[in-house]
Amino acid sequence: MRFNRTATAALLLALATPAFADVEHYTVDPDHTYVSMEVPHIQSISIWRGKFDHTQSGSITLDRTKKTGTVDIVIDAASVDFGHKKLNEELQEEKFFDTKKYPTATYHSDSIKFDGDTPVEVDGQLTLHGVTKPVTLKINSFKCIMHPMLKVQVCGADASATFDRADFGIDNGIKFTGTGKVNLQIQVEAALDGKPGPSH
């Protein structure tokens, strides 16, 4: 029986090359992912620092060939903690996060920018207090390792961003602070979902 050489070669190539091999899928580890923030106190006399204690869920994809990817993160807004009980309670109220009405904050992106093989910036949409606005994350560091205990590839990143809380309808107290500027610091770790990772 004779085979068409072109068809045979195409079949072998298809079998040897898995579909979407260049796209890596990661699941965010909530126990090692935190969003912290810096906000000014009255007339910026000092800087208050707090964080969200609970990341509900998240996923990340990286396409290193096309130099892009996606990010989806869900944060429990009621887990905000500035180390000050009264302030934490006030932040749950309507004048701030209004967590009964808006229990989560989310971040979604379909655009990750690379420098060579390394992600360096994410252009996405932050939804906070029921309002969605563009927020760009700068990736300050990024590293992937074979986790010594989990025995899977895990990637970690440190990212930062700045936004004005008034843009999200959270303007209470700005007349005293003089600015609604919020500096975000984001630490994230995510595990590869059973697909081959980078060779380096």
> Residue 85 belongs to what H/E stretch?
helix 85-91
pLDDT recorded at residue 194: 65
Q: Is residue 3 part of a domain?
A: no
Of 52, 54, 16, whose CA–CA distance to 37 is shortest?
A: 52
Quick check: is 63 in a domain?
yes
Q: Which residues contact 89 (CB under 8 A, 6 or more apart)?
A: none
pLDDT digits (tens, 9 = 90+) for 121-138: 999 999 999 999 999 999
Q: Does residue 5 fall inside a structural domain?
A: no
Tell me: pLDDT of 88 over 60.
yes
Strand, helix or coil for residue 7 = helix
Residue 150 belongs to some domain of the structure: yes
Dig out the tokens for 34 from the structure: 């935190």
Residue 195 has a pLDDT of: 52
Let me know if residue 39 belongs to a domain.
yes
Residue 199 has pLDDT above 60, yes or no: no
User: In angstroms, what CA-CA distances link 185 with 80, 137, 145, 193?
Assistant: 14, 9, 22, 25
Mean pLDDT of the chain: 88
Q: How many domains does the chain have?
A: 1
| Cα separation, 11 vs 15, whole angstroms | 6
The distance in angstroms from the start CA to the end CA of the chain is 45
SS3 content of the chain, % helix, strand, coil (to 5): 20, 50, 30
* Domain annotation covers residue 1: no
Instruction: Tell me whether residue 7 is in a domain.
Output: no
Position 20, amino acid = F
198 in any annotated domain: no
**CA 190 – CA 200 distance, rounded (Å):** 17
The CA distance from 179 to 171, in Å, is 9
**Residue 36 belongs to domain with CATH number:** 2.40.128.110
Domain that residue 168 falls in: 21-192
Would you place residue 16 in the very low, low, confident or very high pLDDT band (cuts 50, 70, 90)?
Answer: very low
Q: How confident is the model at residue 21 (pLDDT cuts 50, 70, 90)?
A: low
Closest CA to 36 of 192, 191, 187, 167: 187
- Across residues 66-85, what is the average pLDDT? 96
What is the tens place of the pLDDT at every residue in 139-194? 999 999 999 988 999 999 999 999 999 999 999 999 999 999 999 999 999 999 96
User: What pTM was estimated for this model as a whole?
Assistant: 0.83
